[in-house]
Amino acid sequence: MDKLDAVPAFSLRQLTYFLVAAEEGTISSAAARLHVSQSAISLAITELERALKVQLCVRRKAHGITLTPSGTQVLHHARALLRHATELQAESAGSPDELSGRLAMGCYPTLAPTVLPHLLHGFSTRHPRVTVDFTEGAQDALQQSLLTGELDLAVLYDMEIQPEIVQVELYRRAPHVVLPAAHPLAALNEVALRDLADEPMILLDSSPSSHHTLRMCADAGIKPLVRHRTSSFETARSLVGRGLGYAVQIQRPANDRTYEGLPVVHRAIAELRGYEVAVLLAWPRHTRLSRRAASLIAFCQETLSDDVPI
């Protein structure tokens, strides 16, 4: 173990006040959130800047605070330090064999309906003293939140993963076409994208799903006629159910009816026979995993797999 040669010149309280001010964007909002005076927040940031010998933010009365490049870097380290401090406190207060504390989880929106309920219920049953908070968002935003320390883990598709992100594969799913039940091609077990080239498409317009779908169409030699765009998985299915076009999706709900009760069908894509997309659990490469995070990874690998229906 490395020897501690000097006591840090800053406190966890100063880091906490700085982190909350950065998240809230104003001194007043940070003070309200922490139930302390604005002067206490301002003084803590000033003392932290003095201890670190850098300017962390620009404070403007009418415009809140803006982090400097140094402030952004310190914020990343502050999140990690405070997370470890919270973990130490939680583990010291309870049994060494019992996990406790909070985990921040990210999930790509189309994966959330099938992954999150299973994960939240199952992991909480196994570790009742751990609270898992979740955030849904675009894949690039989730990866950025992992790298800045806002999230511990995230469930993502194996698409456009940054090199600073480590991942394990949970399961695989094949892309499929969603059609109205009355569509002439619905009677087939497999549909070719080229047979839909002249029909309107409902594009799931959320990165990287939209890029992936358009690339698959290009590889099949077609340029789809995108009629509607939506970031909602269920809205896309509902528009298909109304006969307004077809969609290409990966996740498939157990119920093949829309919110209006209109039936839709899911058919394999002829040009993509044998092709599947991996669903991943990801975390920052240079972050030490907490016991909670490591346990959640193990739980996901155990219960979210191709052999376990979800």
Omega prior to 208 cis, within 30 of 0: yes
- Between 45-49, 57-61, 179-183, the lowest mean confidence (pLDDT) is in 57-61
| Predicted local distance difference test score (pLDDT) of residue 282 | 95
Instruction: Give the whole-angstrom CA distance, residue 173 versus residue 159.
Output: 13
pLDDT band at 102 (very low <50, low <70, confident <90, very high): confident
Q: Which CATH number applies to 97-171+278-303: 3.40.190.10, 3.30.1330.10, 3.90.1150.10, 3.40.50.1100? A: 3.40.190.10
- Domain regions of the chain by residue span: 12-77, 97-171+278-303, 175-275
DSSP state of 255: -
Instruction: Give the whole-angstrom CA distance, residue 108 versus residue 100.
Output: 25
Hey, what CATH topology would domain 12-77 get?
Arc Repressor Mutant, subunit A (1.10.10)
Q: Over the stretch 219-229, which tens digit does the pLDDT of each residue have? A: 999 999 999 99
Query: Does residue 110 surpass a pLDDT of 80?
Result: yes
Q: Which two tokens stand for residue 156?
A: 């993502």
Percentage of residues in the chain having pLDDT higher than 70: 93
Q: Give Cα separations from 45 to 38, 55, 157 (angstroms).
A: 11, 9, 39
Mean pLDDT to the nearest integer, 278-288:
90
Percentage of residues in the chain having pLDDT higher than 90: 58
Q: Count other Cβ atoms within 10 Å, centred on residue 288.
A: 10
Q: Where are the alpha helices (DSSP H) in 61-160?
A: 69-93, 112-126, 139-147
- Total-model pTM: 0.71
Instruction: Give the whole-angstrom CA distance, residue 280 versus residue 299.
Output: 13
Query: Does residue 79 surpass a pLDDT of 90?
Result: no
Query: Does residue 309 surpass a pLDDT of 50?
Result: no
Mean pLDDT to the nearest integer, 240-263:
90
Query: Does residue 179 surpass a pLDDT of 70?
Result: yes
pLDDT band at 308 (very low <50, low <70, confident <90, very high): very low
> 97-171+278-303 and 175-275 share one CATH topology?
yes
pLDDT band at 208 (very low <50, low <70, confident <90, very high): confident
Which CATH code fits 175-275? 3.40.190.10
| Predicted local distance difference test score (pLDDT) of residue 4 | 59
| Predicted local distance difference test score (pLDDT) of residue 96 | 54
pLDDT band at 287 (very low <50, low <70, confident <90, very high): confident
pLDDT band at 5 (very low <50, low <70, confident <90, very high): low
| Closest to 247 (Cα-Cα) out of 208, 202, 205 | 202
| Predicted local distance difference test score (pLDDT) of residue 310 | 46
- Cβ–Cβ < 8 Å for 241, 258: yes
Q: Over the stretch 264-278, which tens digit does the pLDDT of each residue have? A: 999 999 999 989 999
All residues at 6 or more sequence positions from 136 whose CB lies less than 8 Å from its CB, including other chains:
106, 107, 108, 109, 112
| Predicted local distance difference test score (pLDDT) of residue 290 | 84
The whole-chain average pLDDT of the chain stands at 88
Give me the residue label for tokens 């992100």. Answer: 165
Query: Does residue 193 surpass a pLDDT of 80?
Result: yes
Mean pLDDT to the nearest integer, 137-147:
91
Give the relative orientation of helices 38-52 and 27-34 as an angle to the nearest 10 degrees: 110
Encoded amino acid at 310, one letter:
I
Query: Does residue 2 surpass a pLDDT of 60?
Result: no
